[in-house]
Structure 1
């Protein structure tokens, strides 16, 4: 919606500029805006507010331009020996979390597991039904590291594992 509003405003300004270049007078809204901007002092509240809004929007656009796209996707690495591919494969974070959760549930003693996958960190929490929680945590860490390595991610996230005895 914002893009459509900006497109409509830019189209209106462009049509008015073309009309002025063709010899017609400028539109009334454009003449009024030019008169207001020329007559107001620089330290006017509305001028300062407009400048602050323009600065914030500019900074926001710069931040958006510098942030990577496809934030819900994790890039996969290419097999060794392959030429640089034009097609890049990615894995959805929810899919990776599901695979890691299934691997966690295969560990003996784990009754319930919750896995959250971020760009730089994987948080896994498991409830232990039987066995010592420290042993389960060691087994769980090993199983999740193995499954994480099988995912073949370009930048494997750090693994944070917590196991606790389930309250009955």
Structure 2
């Protein structure tokens, strides 16, 4: 009796295929890029397979928990993809690598005096508007000129009057003529060429401040308006501070705050510390140089002297200023 077609033949999974699947499964156990698989082993006997993988885990990590997650994932994933029975997987931790970071695990920011300046460039602007305007103008001029040339050479029409007059004007108003109109035209063409060269070799987007790269190949930009708003909110939270004006440039930020009530020296220190703490949290590649200025509002009055403090309180200037470099 002939066996059914579905029961004929056999499927054999090679040891090499099982080993490659186990190695790939080990790298998928934790976050992407967190586990590195060095080498693996596999032995297939009938419908059962034994696998083992040598891995490098990220640091810091709890070894027993991370190893158990890798082991269970390798066994389950290999069994599901190969159709074999995988009783267990052997995982050998070869080492720990601090460079194996997940996509959501960012490098801790460096703040304070030891913070290093990370080189990060502004992203290049695509400059769609000037390129589109220049391309449309050039296309329109070339299209009109091409239409007139084709109509003359193909249809036998007379050349357009504007082209004849333009050619006559150009023949008598060249650079050697030294006329005012020729000089102005040459200056305009030169200015246009210089402007296009500047656009080609500069990144543009001066409103964005580059941030510290969290991962290799990742570029982030923070708008100046957002930086100004963040600094303004931080300074406004200081008790006694009312109106706050913030101007952010490419290298420095100017903070002007108005004091409505309270003691000036303490408010000045609190405003400066709040601005510095907020600037340190921005994560910019080049820390901003802060210039903090505190002025008293017209309704401000000096605090009353407490008993035992002497004959009175020392007069303070109406405006104080402090510059800090970070």
Q: Which whole-Å CA distance do the structure 2 matches of 1:10 and 1:121 have between them?
A: 47
Q: Which of 179, 184, 187 does residue 52 from structure 1 map onto?
A: 187
Q: Which of 65, 69, 72 does residue 200 from structure 2 map onto?
A: 65
Alignment map for 1:132-147 (pairs within 5 Å): 132-147=263-278
Between 22-31 and 146-155, report the one with greater CA deviation: 22-31
CA-CA distance at 1:113 after TM superposition? 1.3
Q: Which of 197, 207, 212 does residue 77 from structure 1 map onto?
A: 212
CA-CA distance at 1:23 after TM superposition? 4.9
Q: What secondary structure does 1:153 align onto?
A: coil
Q: Which has the larger radius of gyration?
A: 2
Aligned to 1:158: 289
Residues 101-145 of structure 1: CA distance to partner in whole angstroms, max 9, x if unpaired? 111012222122121222222111101122332332222122111
CA-CA distance at 1:16 after TM superposition? 5.4
Q: Which whole-Å CA distance do the structure 1 matches of 2:196 and 2:259 have between them?
A: 47
> Is 1:35 paired with 2:155?
no
More helix by share: 1
Q: Which whole-Å CA distance do the structure 2 matches of 1:167 and 1:97 have between them?
A: 25
Between 57-66 and 125-134, report the one with greater CA deviation: 57-66
Q: Which of 117, 134, 139 does residue 7 from structure 1 map onto?
A: 139
**For residues 10 and 75 of structure 1, do their structure 2 counterparts lie closer, same or farther at Cα, with a shift above 3 Å needed?**
farther
**For residues 127 and 34 of structure 1, do their structure 2 counterparts lie closer, same or farther at Cα, with a shift above 3 Å needed?**
same
Aligned residues between the structures: 162
CA-CA distance at 1:11 after TM superposition? 3.0
**For residues 158 and 36 of structure 1, do their structure 2 counterparts lie closer, same or farther at Cα, with a shift above 3 Å needed?**
same
**For residues 134 and 8 of structure 1, do their structure 2 counterparts lie closer, same or farther at Cα, with a shift above 3 Å needed?**
farther
C-alpha contact 1:120 1:158 (8 A) present in aligned 2: yes
Between 128-137 and 103-112, report the one with greater CA deviation: 128-137
After TM superposition, the score normalised by the length of structure 2 is 0.44
Q: Which whole-Å CA distance do the structure 2 matches of 1:134 and 1:59 have between them?
A: 52
Q: Which whole-Å CA distance do the structure 1 matches of 2:163 and 2:281 have between them?
A: 61
CA-CA distance at 1:68 after TM superposition? 2.8
Q: Which of 99, 114, 120 does residue 251 from structure 2 map onto?
A: 120
Could you tell me which runs of 5 or more consecutive residues in structure 2 were left unpaired when the two chains were aligned. Answer: 1-131, 300-326
Aligned to 2:92: none
After TM superposition, the score normalised by the length of structure 1 is 0.79
Moved over 6 A (4+): none
Q: Which of 98, 105, 125 does residue 236 from structure 2 map onto?
A: 105
